[in-house]
Amino acid sequence: MWLLPSFRAALAWVLLSLVLATELSLQESLLLKSLGLSAKPSPKAPIPVPSVLWRIFQKRRTQPAANQAPGDGCRVEEFNVPGNIIRVFGDRGHFLHEEQPQGLLCLQKLLYFNLSVLEQDERLTMAQLEVRFSRSSYQPSSQGQPFELRLYQSSQLALQGMPSPGHRRKLLLEQSFAQLHKSLLFNLSAVVKDWRTLGRNLGLVLEISASGSEEPAAPASRGLQSPCGSITSFLDASLLVVTLSPQHCKASRSKRSAQRPPVAPSALCKPRRLYISFSDVGWENWIIAPQGYLANYCLGQCPFPLTAELNSTNHAILQTMVHSLDPEGTPQPCCVPVRLSPISILYYDNSDNVVLRHYEDMVVDECGCR
């Protein structure tokens, strides 16, 4: 081969980069899998982060792990239910009428939440539907009368543009309300549990009508607004689901030590500072918060004789003894994490839902010779 040396160097560099990139993408996919994701999410139409998730996230972040009781990560205190994953599903349903609905019926919509991301072993502990009206539609109905909301469970697929009376459906709840700026919350735990059976999730039908007597005279002819006001202009529905994934939740865990590790000669086994920035790994567009965290790592010697600060096992003590007698034949024990603590991450999943998930063993607190 009579390639120019500079060309050969460039070729080697390109090949090396390719190998490294493949290696990295393999590692990334393994890491994503351990986080419960099939691929790296790339949010297309992300919904704003619901304020309740921000509140829970902030609270967990400001409350040091040392003050948490064992198993805290497996309970959502705010709702008083077991769980370590909170997801907010956006509504993927559609309106069931083609034109502006007539008379007192203001709105009729299929609500559909795709729960297929829930894994088999996740236990559903809570499901809450939130119905909100966008701020611009804040306007009381023209007669100052309340609205009636009805929620049905559909037992047949509702097709777009189909009139409602043909549907087989079961009334789940009914409520009247007058204030459009307050969101309405409904406990749907029992209904949503049933949706996890394959083919059972056919969605919900939401109907909102203006209450009051049906007036035959068209209100418009008397210069009044329709009884619905601008309620149809926008409606926003989401479903908050709390689940418990046992895989990421230990029943009881040891408390994190409050004080920092003692200052040891730096060659000895101890935790070292490592800040992982999610933007450095190209994850900033789907991880909402935190932007990064202090993960740390363990590094250092485990020399003979092992002192108590090195948190060694009896086995490790014997191994150092043998090592000191036969350094070639037996290695020193390894410096490894012996105490880890959890963090919570707020992110968009592969379907643009917002998820707040608790992950165990993300931060190295203490190291030991093992």
Ligand X SMILES: *[C@@H]1O[C@H](CO)[C@@H](O)[C@H](O)[C@H]1NC(C)=O
Task: Give the integer Cα–Cα distance in Å for 181 and 234.
Answer: 12
Q: Which of 239, 241, 346, 367 binds ligand X (CB under 6 A)?
A: 367
DSSP 146: P
Minimum CB separation of residue 222 from ligand X in Å reads 44
Question: Which is closer to ligand X, CB of 90 or CB of 271?
Answer: 271
Interactions with ligand X, residue window 177-196 (CB under 6 A) = 187, 189-190
Which of 111, 239, 249, 269 binds ligand X (CB under 6 A)? It is 269
Burial of residue 318 (number of CB atoms within 10 Å: 0-12, 13-18, 19+): middle
**Which of 106/364 has CB closer to ligand X?**
364
Quick check: 57 and 355 in contact, CB under 8 A?
A: no
CB contact set of 274 (below 8 Å; sequence gap of 6+):
294, 295, 296, 297
| Residue number, 5 or 262, with CB nearest to ligand X | 262
Number of residues that bind ligand X (CB under 6 A): 18
- In the complex, minimum distance from the CB of residue 99 to ligand X, in angstroms, rounded to a whole number: 26
Closest CB 40 distance from ligand X, rounded Å: 14
Q: Give the Cα-Cα-Cα angle 150, 154, 160 (nearest 5 degrees).
A: 95
Interaction of residue 313 with ligand X, rule CB under 6 A:
no
Binding to ligand X (CB under 6 A) within 82-121 occurs at: 114, 116-117
Task: Find the shortest distance in angstroms from Cβ 44 to ligand X.
Answer: 13
Stretch that binds ligand X, among 140-148, 175-183, 235-243, 307-315 (CB under 6 A): 307-315
Instruction: Scan residues 216-255 and list those touching ligand X (CB under 6 A).
Output: none
Alpha-carbon span 299 to 8, nearest angstrom? 38
The answer to whether 269 touches 368, Cβ cutoff 8 Å, is yes
DSSP characters for 186-239?
Answer: EE-HHHHHHTTSTT----EEEEEEE-S---SS-GGGGTPPPTTTTTTT-EEEEE
Q: Which residues of 105-144 are buried (b: 16+ CB within 10 A; e: fewer)?
A: ebbbbbbbbbbebbeeebebbbbbbbbbbeeebeeebebe
Task: Tell which one of 28, 72, 309, 352 touches ligand X (CB under 6 A).
Answer: 309
- Mark 117-146 with x for binding to ligand X (rule: CB under 6 A) and - for no binding: x-----------------------------
Residue whose CB is less far from ligand X, 190 or 198 = 190
| Residues of this chain that bind ligand X (CB under 6 A) | 114, 116-117, 187, 189-190, 257, 261, 269-271, 309-311, 351, 366-368
